[in-house]
Amino acid sequence: ASDVYKRQDLSYGGNNKDRMKFRLAETYLLLAEARLMQNNAQEMVLVIDFGGQYNQLIARRVRESGVYCEIVSYKHSLEAIKAKNPKGIIFTGGPNSAYLEDSPTIDPEIYTWGVPVLGICYGSQLMMHMLGGHVCVAPEREYGKTVVDLDTTSPMFAGLSEKNVCWMSHNDYIETAAPGFKIVASTPNCPVAAAEDAARKLYCVQFHPEVLHTENGTKMLSNFVYNVCGCAGTWKMDSFVEQTVAELKERIGDGKVLCALSGGVDSSVCAAMLAKAIGKQLTCVFVDHGLLRKNEREEVCAVFGEGGQFDINFICVDARERFYSKLAGVTAPEGKRKIIGEEFIRVFEEEAKKIGAVDYLAQGTIYPDVVESGLGGESATIKSHHNVGGLPDFVDFKEIVEPLRDLFKDEVRQSGRELGLPENLVARQPFPGPGLAIRIIGDVTPEKVAIVQDADAIYREEVDKLPMSERPSQYFAALTNMRSVGVMGDERTYDYAIALRAVTTTDFMTAEVTMLPPATITTAANRIVNEVKHINRVLFDYTTKPPATIEFE
Ligand code: GLN
């Protein structure tokens, strides 16, 4: 790595910004290579993405069953796929039709190379089409829950009943299976709902086992990885934490690491991991921009600060006034976001300058931030960590360290638990980088922040009385900029309306409105108007995403 930096220092002749960008790109490349080597040792199943909507779900389900799984675009060469040394391959669904000329395809050697392949939906149609079956437009397309007849002698369906509700989503279908294949599932509209060629270890399902609407879908995938691929199941969060801590120790040596701690799940787990590995060599900078939820700063300081769980250097910057004065009078959502992002970087840089040169900058990047998309650009899309809002230009560091880069969110939470972080931190809802500023419509003032903080705290307290399984994925209060007339103690009031939101989602790309028990909403509403000054009306947001977004701005 240091050779690369030296080369680069010469050619950019001191242009700090360009040099940093180049360093970053190079670092990612080196990391990717290193990861490739590392993956060769780790037992893994590879998902080949053909543009399916549920590609990440497939990988999550496989990992839940104890086998490490990564997603790569179908555009990779067979050599690159082989280099990953997978124990099994899974083709995802996709929007195209397998029988059309320009549709995504794959090197046919994938079927003879000896590693088991499971095709899902488009993946199943592609496999059949390539191997001599007949795929065409279905006379009756299927969408939604469908009862499928299973042949339970198939290793895929071992231990299941003969009728199983499966999630279907297709316009095309496999009219006849390819030679050598045995049909192991069907529906009245779909003669080949699943087929297998046990000798060649090729399997395909028209439905989506990765979607939770498919009963026993996770069992089917785990059947594939254990019964067909012969995996041992070595992917466990406790061993991941232990191994990563050891790797970080070795890689960092006696170097210094700087970490921007937001208080969110990812950066907290990242910091905890590093704290375990290198203790006092880690400095965490936490910026209170005055747009945090109620008591959030205190909670973060209690865990990471003086007298907390970890022996690290912890700096809490009170930048509230700075942010409030920059935001004064600004009403445009994008304007607010931009100001906050930029100011955050400035504050962080100032703190970093006080610390001086460090060896590593730690980031809580997680797998969904870096995963390739099948139909996307030719190369891997690399996003900087969205919560940090871009990388600081003037922080003097040599390399980036991202200990959570391979993990899905639920795995990050699990790692946090392994590291002993408190449940309220580990189970925390997603919270946007610009914080409450985008939950206050219009201009932001310290008074409005206090109003939304108090209302939000009451609402969350009430929802948190529900059992875990009934709680929405995300629930919060937002301050509308609307004022209306009310009456309190026989007096006219003219005050703000607060909006409550509750959504259920698995991926945060789409979201449904959560129907909370009426008592929860009315109690919360009652308490809010009684306990929070300047609120005289509570509204509930009944909009799905799309067309609305989860956040208000
Ligand atoms: N586009 C194909 C079809 O309509 C596959 C759909 C899918 O993979 N979900 O049948």
Query: Atom 8, ligand 1: which residue's CA is nearest?
Result: 93
The pLDDT value given to residue 507? 64
The predicted model gives 86-113 an average pLDDT of 96
The predicted model gives 162-189 an average pLDDT of 96
Q: What distance in angstroms lies between residue 214's CA and the mean position of ligand 1's atoms?
A: 16
Instruction: Say which of 121, 166, 204, 270 is annotated catalytic.
Output: 121
- At residue 542, does pLDDT exceed 70? yes
Residue 22 binned pLDDT confidence (cut-offs 50, 70, 90): low
The pLDDT value given to residue 336? 95
Instruction: Say which of 210, 343, 351, 553 is annotated catalytic.
Output: 210
101 is catalytic: no
The predicted model gives 430-439 an average pLDDT of 93
- At residue 361, does pLDDT exceed 80? yes
Atom in ligand 1 nearest the alpha carbon of residue 170: 10
> Residue 127: helix, strand or coil by DSSP?
helix
What percent of the chain is modeled with pLDDT above 70?
88
Atom in ligand 1 nearest the alpha carbon of residue 53: 9
Q: What distance in angstroms lies between residue 330's CA and the mean position of ligand 1's atoms?
A: 46
The pLDDT value given to residue 54? 86
210 is catalytic: yes
The predicted model gives 137-151 an average pLDDT of 93
Atom in ligand 1 nearest the alpha carbon of residue 95: 1
Q: Express each pLDDT in 198-247 by its tens digit.
A: 999 999 999 999 998 899 999 999 999 999 999 999 999 999 999 999 99
By residue count, the chain amounts to 553
Query: Atom 6, ligand 1: which residue's CA is nearest?
Result: 170
The predicted model gives 252-257 an average pLDDT of 96
Residues lining ligand 1, CB < 6 A? 52, 93-97, 121-122, 169-172
CB 51 within 8 A of CB 96: yes
Compute the distance between CA of residue 16 and CA of residue 492 in angstroms, rounded to an integer: 60
Q: What distance in angstroms lies between residue 463's CA and the mean position of ligand 1's atoms?
A: 38
The predicted model gives 90-102 an average pLDDT of 95
Q: What distance in angstroms lies between residue 181's CA and the mean position of ligand 1's atoms?
A: 20
Beta bridge partners of 501: 476
The pLDDT value given to residue 527? 98
pTM for this prediction: 0.81
The predicted model gives 437-464 an average pLDDT of 97
Q: What distance in angstroms lies between residue 153's CA and the mean position of ligand 1's atoms?
A: 27
The pLDDT value given to residue 273? 97
Residue 396 binned pLDDT confidence (cut-offs 50, 70, 90): confident
Residue type, 504: T
Q: DSSP code of 9? A: H
More confident residue, 398 or 280: 280
CA quadruple 188, 191, 193, 198: dihedral, nearest 10: 140
CB 187 within 8 A of CB 193: yes
Q: What distance in angstroms lies between residue 141's CA and the mean position of ligand 1's atoms?
A: 10
C-alpha torsion sign, points 66, 71, 74, 77:
negative
If we measure between CA atoms, which residue out of 503, 509, 507 comes closest to residue 544? Answer: 503
Atom in ligand 1 nearest the alpha carbon of residue 123: 8
Compute the distance between CA of residue 401 and CA of residue 282 in angstroms, rounded to an integer: 12
Residue 386 binned pLDDT confidence (cut-offs 50, 70, 90): very low
The predicted model gives 304-330 an average pLDDT of 96
More confident residue, 330 or 16: 330
The pLDDT value given to residue 125? 98
The pLDDT value given to residue 379? 33
Could you write out the DSSP letters of every residue in 272-313? HHHHHHHGGGEEEEEEE-S-SPTTHHHHHHHHHSTTSS--SE
Site to probe by mutation for ligand 1, drawn from 91, 97, 127, 207 as the one with most ligand atoms within 8 Å of Cβ, is 97
Query: Atom 5, ligand 1: which residue's CA is nearest?
Result: 122
Q: Express each pLDDT in 35-79 by its tens digit.
A: 555 555 789 999 999 998 888 999 999 999 999 999 999 999 999
The pLDDT value given to residue 397? 86
Q: Express each pLDDT in 281-307 by its tens digit.
A: 999 999 999 999 999 999 999 999 999
Among all chains, which residue has been given the structure tokens 């991926």?
Answer: 507
Site to probe by mutation for ligand 1, drawn from 105, 136, 169 as the one with most ligand atoms within 8 Å of Cβ, is 169
- At residue 416, does pLDDT exceed 90? yes
Instruction: Say which of 208, 289, 372, 462 is annotated catalytic.
Output: 208
531 is catalytic: no
How confident is the prediction for the chain on average, in pLDDT?
A: 89
Atom in ligand 1 nearest the alpha carbon of residue 169: 9
Site to probe by mutation for ligand 1, drawn from 55, 122, 127 as the one with most ligand atoms within 8 Å of Cβ, is 122
Q: What distance in angstroms lies between residue 368's CA and the mean position of ligand 1's atoms?
A: 23
